[in-house]
């Protein structure tokens, strides 16, 4: 049985301008010890999926669909460690909140020091009594991760956990997630817009566009054989930067207004290869290979004629 | 020819507990029409440097020259004129635009300040032409910043900076907050403006791939000091300073196979606070190659074969080990 199973998840916000469909029928599974990436541009709904899983959606949101989770957790790591930490509490007290109740003070302190050591925080015995403002950005994010790990979760949800950090510090934080998976079998659902981070950390990737998953693949397959035109356009932008093209590849147009109903494929208005059917009918997933599928009318499943 | 040169420029801030030196004796030159990149991590002083160049932050020490003339010796009229020639755009375009000013008003405002005698019709014509030049549809001229996208906001900020016909545009993390496809559009726009107007760019960024794409020369800052300079292609292919090596090796590569083979230099600890920089070489507390000398004496800048400079006691001019990581064989490069 999968650690996490999400089926036909829908998140709709009621706003003054009318309803906004932020997540529009998303389904996926996540296995124990797996690192799954959720990529897409701003407003594609990736963070809302994490909020839905944590039960943190705001009051004006309506949630539909099924979420089955069998394990401890999940816990969540946010992008900005400064807003995730309470400025008035010491590091030790904040981590203690996430530890099991009823531990005696000495054991509790020992557990916190052990967590801080695991996160490679120098001098944990002194850090435990400090306040967030006394720490660097990278160290604060490690504290946030320590809070997420304190409950020994089977699944960690991380929303752009390294985006606010410097690149040398980011590398260190990504290593921590790898170690938690390797040593404790913890699964990670990583939201990121950085395809470099995703390439280096994830086993599998879901590509989101306008609240929908448009492609799902093992990380190697996604980068080697992207199936959906949106994924291809996204990767072309990135590789054109790496290749030193004089003019960078771009995706013309802008994402659709999620306050308006989308009848066909959400990417169709910007798609270079769209046909009439793309405007009219929402494409179903088609298999491109084992564990690899894309929601595109033009996808040819290997070995079949469509 | 040299447009702007900085000689031993320092920027300091007074804090409750003392003085923070954000930029420490930095010397750089920007030629007309070229792009100089400033790279480095949080707290390295790159934004303070950019703000000092446009006059938003005073120099605590050092000299700045424009076309060979010391800016401090300029008369008030010439100094005012210089503000037209040096413009800046920031990371968060929404925060840098007045929320109550329409797109057209925001772009027209610099004209109202610097060319007050312009007729209303002529001003509108200039604004319309500028919006067209940054590829914004005329239909958004009457919208407010919150009603347009982030990429469009950054185009408005660029239009506002470009309408006075500047010769130098400082871009402080100008594409860092944008989605990757929008980022590419803005980078293309900056390059086109540069081709069309001969504009120089001071491109401040922590995004090394974009820097590689846009710039000819790069200066690497760490804790307020320039640790290495040189042509981008050479510096990224064979970094001479241990910090530059670590920085380049830490950049994730958008390719899972290359990522698995990547050799990363892991730096010990976090960057020290610029309020309390280490003695000697500022990088020594995290440097894998540090020796006793590094704590005692500040390294002087040494010339590199490609014309750049490096400040490191451990640098040996010949027989260098090849640079690790991302840019090993310069796979990103065209040259």
What pLDDT score was predicted for residue A203?
Answer: 97
Do the chains contact at A219 and B256, CB–CB below 8 Å? yes
For residue B335, pLDDT beyond 50: no
What pLDDT score was predicted for residue B331?
Answer: 39
Residue of B nearest to A234 (CA): B181
What pLDDT score was predicted for residue B333?
Answer: 38
What pLDDT score was predicted for residue B318?
Answer: 67
| Cβ burial, residue A1 (10 Å; 0-12/13-18/19+) | exposed
Do the chains contact at A168 and B41, CB–CB below 8 Å? yes
The total of other beta-carbon atoms located within 10 Å of residue A189's CB is 27
Size of interface A-B (CB pairs under 8 A): 116
Calpha distance B47→A44 (Å, rounded): 31
Report the pLDDT averaged over residues B128-133: 97
* Best residue in B150, B252, B333 for a mutation probing chain A (most A CBs within 10 Å): B252
Q: What are the residues whose beta carbons fall under 8 Å from the beta carbon of A257, sequence distance 6 or more?
A: none
Rounded to the nearest angstrom, the minimum Cα separation between A239 and chain B is 8
Do the chains contact at A136 and B270, CB–CB below 8 Å? yes
Helix (H, G, I), strand (E, B) or coil at B89: strand
| Structural contact between residues A263 and A282, judged by C-beta atoms closer than 8 angstroms | yes
Residue of A nearest to B246 (CA): A168
DSSP B224-237: TEEEEEEEHHHHHH
- CB-nearest to A166 from B181, B184, B206 is B206
Token output for B159: 């239009």
Rounded to the nearest angstrom, the minimum Cα separation between B117 and chain A is 38
More confident residue, B178 or B333: B178
| Structural contact between residues B9 and B26, judged by C-beta atoms closer than 8 angstroms | yes
- CB-nearest to B252 from A194, A241, A246 is A194
For residue B268, pLDDT beyond 80: no
Q: Is A241 on the interface with B (CB under 8 A)?
A: yes
Q: Is A199 on the interface with B (CB under 8 A)?
A: yes
Rounded to the nearest angstrom, the minimum Cα separation between A159 and chain B is 16
pLDDT (tens digit, 9 = 90+) per residue, B19-52?
Answer: 999 999 999 999 999 999 999 988 899 999 999 9
Closest CA to A198 of B250, B252, B184: B252
Chain A neighbors of B250, CB-CB under 8 A: 167-168, 170-171
Do the chains contact at A244 and B334, CB–CB below 8 Å? yes
* Best residue in B189, B270, B274 for a mutation probing chain A (most A CBs within 10 Å): B270
The total of other beta-carbon atoms located within 10 Å of residue A122's CB is 12
Calpha distance B48→B44 (Å, rounded): 9
Per-residue pLDDT band for B142 (boundaries 50, 70, 90) equals very high
| Structural contact between residues B244 and B309, judged by C-beta atoms closer than 8 angstroms | no
What pLDDT score was predicted for residue B261?
Answer: 87
Residue of B nearest to A233 (CA): B181
Q: What does pLDDT average to over chain B?
A: 91
Residue of B nearest to A43 (CA): B179
What pLDDT score was predicted for residue A303?
Answer: 67
Chain B neighbors of A242, CB-CB under 8 A: 209, 253-254, 331-332
pLDDT (tens digit, 9 = 90+) per residue, A183-203?
Answer: 999 999 999 989 999 999 999
What pLDDT score was predicted for residue A88?
Answer: 95
Which residue ranges make up each domain of chain B? 2-215, 241-310
Q: Is A249 on the interface with B (CB under 8 A)?
A: yes
What separation in angstroms does the CA of B66 have from each of A204, B10, B11, B72, B114?
53, 17, 18, 10, 20
DSSP A131: -
By residue count, chain A amounts to: 306
Chain A neighbors of B210, CB-CB under 8 A: 241
Do the chains contact at A250 and B264, CB–CB below 8 Å? no
Helix %, strand %, coil % for chain A, to 5?
35, 25, 40
Residue of A nearest to B212 (CA): A244
Q: Is A17 on the interface with B (CB under 8 A)?
A: no
What pLDDT score was predicted for residue B334?
Answer: 34
Token output for B219: 């200066």
Rounded (5°) CA angle A7-A13-A18: 130
Rounded to the nearest angstrom, the minimum Cα separation between A148 and chain B is 21
| Structural contact between residues A250 and A264, judged by C-beta atoms closer than 8 angstroms | no
What pLDDT score was predicted for residue B225?
Answer: 96
- Helices (H), strands (E): how many in chain A? 11, 11
**Is the CATH code 3.10.129.10 the one for domain B2-215?**
no
Calpha distance B333→B165 (Å, rounded): 32
Question: B interface toward A at CB cutoff 8 Å?
Answer: 41-42, 149-151, 179-182, 184-185, 187-188, 191, 206, 208-210, 212-213, 246-247, 250-260, 262, 264, 266-267, 269-271, 273, 331-334
What separation in angstroms does the CA of B277 have from each of B12, B21, B106, B245?
13, 9, 41, 21
Do the chains contact at B206 and A193, CB–CB below 8 Å? no
Report the pLDDT averaged over residues A2-11: 97
What separation in angstroms does the CA of B35 have from each of A49, A247, B268?
41, 16, 32
Pairing relation of β-strands A187-192 and A4-15? Answer: unpaired
Q: Is A237 on the interface with B (CB under 8 A)?
A: yes
% of residues, chain A, pLDDT over 70: 99
Calpha distance A29→A36 (Å, rounded): 9
- Helices (H), strands (E): how many in chain B? 12, 12
Beta strands (DSSP E) in chain A are 4-15, 18-30, 35-39, 61-69, 75-77, 155-159, 187-192, 204-209, 212-218, 286-289, 292-294
pLDDT (tens digit, 9 = 90+) per residue, A229-283?
Answer: 999 999 999 888 878 778 899 998 889 999 999 999 999 999 999 999 999 999 9
Do the chains contact at B253 and A237, CB–CB below 8 Å? no
CA B249 to chain centroid: 20
What pLDDT score was predicted for residue B267?
Answer: 83
Most confident of the ranges A138-147, B93-102, B116-125: B116-125
């Amino acid at each position: 049985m999968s650690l996490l199973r999400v089926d036909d998840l829908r998140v709709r916000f009621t706003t003054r301008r009318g309803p906004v469909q932020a997540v529009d029928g998303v389904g996926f599974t996540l296995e124990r010890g797996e690192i799954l990436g959720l990529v897409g541009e701003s407003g594609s709904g990736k963070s809302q999926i994490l909020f839905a899983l944590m039960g943190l959606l705001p009051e004006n949101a309506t949630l539909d669909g099924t979420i089955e989770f069998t394990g401890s957790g999940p816990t969540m790591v946010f992008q900005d460690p400064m807003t995730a930490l309470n400025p008035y509490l010491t590091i030790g007290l904040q981590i203690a909140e996430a530890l099991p109740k009823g531990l005696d003070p000495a054991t509790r302190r020992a557990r916190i020091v052990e967590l801080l050591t695991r996160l490679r925080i120098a001098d944990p015995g002194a850090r435990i009594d400090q306040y967030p403002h006394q720490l660097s950005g990278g160290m604060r994010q490690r504290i946030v991760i320590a809070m997420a790990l304190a409950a020994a979760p089977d699944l960690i949800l991380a929303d752009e956990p390294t985006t606010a950090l410097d690149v040398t510090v980011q590398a260190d934080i990504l290593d921590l997630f790898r170690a938690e998976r390797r040593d404790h079998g913890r699964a990670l659902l990583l939201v990121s817009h950085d395809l470099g981070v995703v390439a280096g950390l994830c086993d599998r990737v879901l590509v989101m566009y306008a609240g929908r998953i448009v492609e799902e693949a093992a990380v190697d397959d996604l980068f080697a054989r992207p199936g959906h035109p949106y994924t291809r356009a996204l990767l072309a932008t990135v590789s054109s930067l790496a290749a030193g093209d004089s003019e960078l590849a771009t995706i013309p147009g802008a994402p659709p207004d999620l306050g308006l109903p989308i009848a066909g494929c959400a990417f169709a208005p910007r798609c270079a290869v769209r046909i009439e059917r793309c405007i009219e009918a929402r494409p179903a997933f088609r298999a491109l290979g084992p564990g690899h599928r894309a929601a595109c009318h033009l996808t040819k499943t290997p070995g079949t004629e469509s | 020819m040299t447009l702007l040169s900085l000689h031993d420029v320092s920027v300091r801030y007074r804090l409750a507990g003392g003085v923070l030196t954000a930029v420490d004796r930095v010397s750089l030159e920007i030629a007309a029409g070229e792009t100089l990149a400033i790279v480095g991590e949080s707290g390295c002083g790159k934004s303070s440097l950019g703000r000092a160049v446009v006059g938003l932050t005073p120099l605590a020490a050092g000299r700045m020259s424009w076309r060979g003339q010391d800016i401090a010796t300029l008369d008030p009229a010439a100094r005012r004129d210089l503000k037209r020639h040096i413009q800046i755009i920031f990371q968060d375009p929404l925060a840098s635009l007045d929320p109550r000013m329409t797109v057209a008003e925001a772009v027209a405002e610099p004209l109202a300040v610097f060319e007050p005698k312009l007729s209303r019709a002529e001003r509108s014509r200039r604004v319309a032409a500028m919006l067209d030049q940054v590829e914004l549809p005329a239909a958004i001229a009457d919208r407010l910043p919150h009603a347009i996208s982030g990429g469009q906001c950054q185009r408005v900020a660029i239009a506002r900076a470009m309408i006075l016909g500047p010769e130098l545009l400082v871009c402080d993390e100008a594409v860092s907050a944008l989605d990757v496809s929008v980022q590419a559009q803005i980078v293309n726009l900056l390059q086109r403006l540069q081709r069309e107007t001969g504009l120089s760019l001071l491109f401040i960024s922590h995004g090394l791939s974009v820097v590689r794409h846009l710039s000819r020369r790069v200066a690497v800052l760490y804790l307020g000091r320039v640790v290495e300079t040189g042509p981008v292609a050479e510096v990224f292919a064979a970094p001479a300073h241990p910090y530059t090596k670590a920085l380049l090796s830490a950049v994730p590569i958008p390719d899972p196979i290359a990522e698995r083979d990547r050799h990363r230099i892991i730096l010990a600890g976090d960057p020290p606070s610029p309020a309390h920089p280490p003695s000697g070489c500022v990088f020594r507390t995290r440097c894998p190659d540090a020796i006793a000398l590094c704590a005692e004496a500040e390294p002087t800048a040494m010339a590199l074969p490609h014309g750049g400079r490096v400040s490191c006691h451990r640098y040996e001019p010949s027989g260098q080990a090849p640079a690790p990581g991302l840019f090993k064989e310069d796979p990103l490069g065209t040259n």
